[in-house]
Amino acid sequence: MKNPQLVGILLCTVLGVALGHRTRCYDCSGGPSNSCKQTVITCGEGERCGFLDRKPQLNPGQVKQPSMVLSQHHPACVATHHCNQVDIESVGGVTFTTHKNCCFGDLCNGAVASSMTPLCILAAAVTTLVWLLPGL
């Protein structure tokens, strides 16, 4: 490549796309359902994909009711500072424990993953090598 300005512009464009890429995650904010894998949202700044595991805690002497939903496990965007935290809340006399677990990358909280960001980084690395190698 004989035009380093063109290579520089291309490199900046590719890096801009890679760095400006927001994480996409599966979301089941309405609770667990079969359509969760069809709902994809873009997480906000400072959020990652993850799972929310919500389980009721039985109080001493409380009898487990078979009709009660014992746990909910659903994907969602999670604020990075809440990753791997446990929250406890009381709703209507029932205490719930919510575990917030995070993962890395697009759609990592489901079966399908996107490879957009790694491809952008690879393209930037190849462009840089092509630009630097002829000068050696």
What whole-number distance in Å separates Cα of residue 36 and Cα of residue 27? 6
Q: pTM score, two decimals? A: 0.52
Half-sphere exposure of 104 (CA within 13 A, CB side): 2
Residue 108 pLDDT greater than 70, yes or no: yes
What would the pLDDT profile of 24-63 be if each residue is shown by its tens digit?
Answer: 998 876 555 555 667 889 999 999 998 888 888 876 655 5
Token digits for 63?
A: 């009898």
Domain boundaries, the chain: 4-135
